[in-house]
Amino acid sequence: MRKFVSDTLDESRSSEFLRDFQAFQEHAAFFGYLNSLSQLTLKMTSPGVPDLYQGCELWDFNLVDPDNRRPIDFDSRRRILQQLKSGVADSTEGLQRLLLKLETGAVKMYVLWRALLFRQSHHQLFQEGIYLPLNATGEKAQHIVAFARQLGKQFVITVAPRLVAGLCNKAKVLPLAEKIWGDTVLRLNDKIPASGFRNVLTGETMAGSKKDLRLSEILANFPVAILDGSHQ
Note the pLDDT tens digit of each residue in 145-200. 999 999 988 899 999 999 999 999 999 999 999 999 999 999 987 777 656 789 99
Sequence letter at residue 57: E
Could you give phi then psi for residue 220, rounded to 5 degrees? Answer: -75, -35
Q: Which of 148, 110, 166 is CA-nearest to residue 227?
A: 148
Helix (H) or strand (E) holding 113: helix 106-121
Domain count for the chain: 1
Residues of the chain with pLDDT under 50: none
Domain that holds residue 162: 2-228
Q: How many angstroms separate the CA atoms of 130 and 150, rounded?
A: 5
Could you give phi then psi for residue 94, rounded to 5 degrees? Answer: -65, -40
Helix 106-121 × helix 74-85 angle, to 10°: 70
pLDDT recorded at residue 151: 92
Q: How many angstroms separate the CA atoms of 121 and 198, rounded?
A: 15
Q: Quick check: 225 and 213 in contact, CB under 8 A?
A: no
The alpha carbon dihedral of 155, 147, 117, 95 has a sign of negative
pLDDT recorded at residue 189: 79
* Residue spans of alpha helices (H) in 122-226: 123-128, 164-167, 177-181, 215-218
Ramachandran assignment for 60, one of left (phi > 0), alpha (psi -120 to 50 degrees), beta (any other)? beta
Q: Quick check: 192 and 157 in contact, CB under 8 A?
A: yes
